[in-house]
């Protein structure tokens, strides 16, 4: 157990008030450093923000992206301080930026600068687009992709390939309304509108990618020191140059999470940690992978896992 672990970092939608604050109570210097760095770059006290914000405030893309990134990096540092480091890294959508930092491609400071710029660009694009996202439950990714290609509904795109039985689509309001009826006729179990700011991971927010490009160009990307997997390709990232190119494409490209899970499992991973808030990726991993995934977004989550690890070792 824990011989070859993957760290999985969640994206938008995982956030909740008070997240990551329990790590501050542990008195870790690394936690204090990350909170201080995020506060400096955001020009606000992130401890106070996470303590006082409600769910509606945290849903804003420009606010949630830096906050979730902080809540992803803190437990990863906490685990590292206790001798648990990843053999592989991957992040879902926004979570890929924490994976870039933990895999050594970018520094923590640049990570926060990038997610701040990315969040602002995506919020602006979402305000313009008026579209949204919906989860299609009960059809395979291959079937959903084939139906979208067949129907050719203007403004409808596959956005997230989450699991063998869940795909998220992005679209204009009109496209999602038409798609709901068609998917139900095709036997979909559920069509669930998501509470997100816009039609992310689709060409409908191409303006966000262009707005984000100068911030991305200004940051040096190094080759991964820990194997890193890409949302855009579903495969391992081979170089810093490739990682930077994929970071721009990721804004408008589907998240191929099922392919990432398969690629990591094929590398012999024996356990995964959802290193950030919530348990969404834990559930998706269980749908696709034969090895366990452990929630690791709170101090209590991590202590439970470490106790199990020590018990096995003894």
How many CB atoms are located within 10 Å of the residue 180 CB? 18
- Indicate if 93 belongs to the active site: yes
The end-to-end CA distance of the chain, in Å, is: 12
Widest CA span of the chain, in angstroms? Answer: 59
Q: How far is CA 282 from CA 73, 118, 157, 263, 271, in A?
A: 17, 25, 25, 17, 11
- Can you tell me the distance from the alpha carbon of 293 to that of 285, in angstroms, rounded to the nearest whole number? 7
Q: Which of 201, 202, 230, 253 is catalytic?
A: 201
- Indicate if 310 belongs to the active site: no
Backbone angles phi and psi of 202, in degrees to 5: -150, 160
CB 34 within 8 A of CB 71: no
Q: Which of 53, 64, 93, 253 is catalytic?
A: 93
CB 112 within 8 A of CB 69: yes
Catalytic center residues = 93, 201
């Amino acid at each position: 157990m824990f011989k070859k672990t993957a760290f999985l970092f969640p994206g938008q939608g995982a956030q909740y008030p008070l997240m990551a604050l329990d790590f501050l109570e542990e008195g870790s210097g690394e936690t204090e450093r990350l909170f201080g760095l995020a506060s400096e770059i955001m020009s606000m006290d992130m401890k106070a923000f996470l303590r006082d914000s409600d769910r509606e405030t945290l849903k804003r893309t420009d606010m949630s992206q830096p906050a979730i990134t902080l809540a992803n990096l803190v437990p990863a540092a906490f685990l590292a301080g206790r001798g648990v480091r990843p053999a592989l890294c991957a992040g879902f959508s926004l979570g890929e930026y924490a994976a870039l930092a933990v895999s050594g491609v970018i520094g923590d400071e640049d990570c926060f600068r990038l997610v701040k710029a990315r969040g602002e660009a995506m919020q602006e694009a979402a305000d313009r687009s008026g579209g949204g996202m919906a989860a299609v439950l009960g059809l395979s990714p291959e079937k959903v992709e084939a139906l979208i290609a067949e129907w050719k509904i203007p403004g409808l795109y596959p956005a997230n390939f989450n699991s063998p039985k869940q795909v998220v689509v992005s679209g204009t309001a009109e496209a999602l309304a038409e798609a709901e009826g068609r998917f139900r006729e095709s036997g979909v179990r559920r069509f669930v509108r998501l509470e997100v700011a816009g039609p992310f991971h689709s060409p409908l927010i191409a303006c966000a990618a262009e707005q984000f490009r100068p911030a991305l160009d200004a940051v040096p990307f190094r080759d991964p020191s820990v194997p890193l997997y890409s949302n855009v390709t579903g495969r391992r990232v081979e170089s810093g140059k490739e990682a930077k190119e994929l970071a721009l494409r990721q804004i408008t490209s589907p998240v191929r999470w099922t392919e990432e899970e398969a690629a990591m499992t094929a590398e012999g991973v024996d356990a995964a940690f959802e290193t950030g808030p919530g348990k969404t990726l834990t559930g998706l991993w269980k749908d696709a992978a034969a090895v366990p995934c452990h929630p690791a977004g709170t101090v209590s989550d991590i202590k439970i896992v470490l106790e199990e690890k020590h018990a096995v070792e003894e």
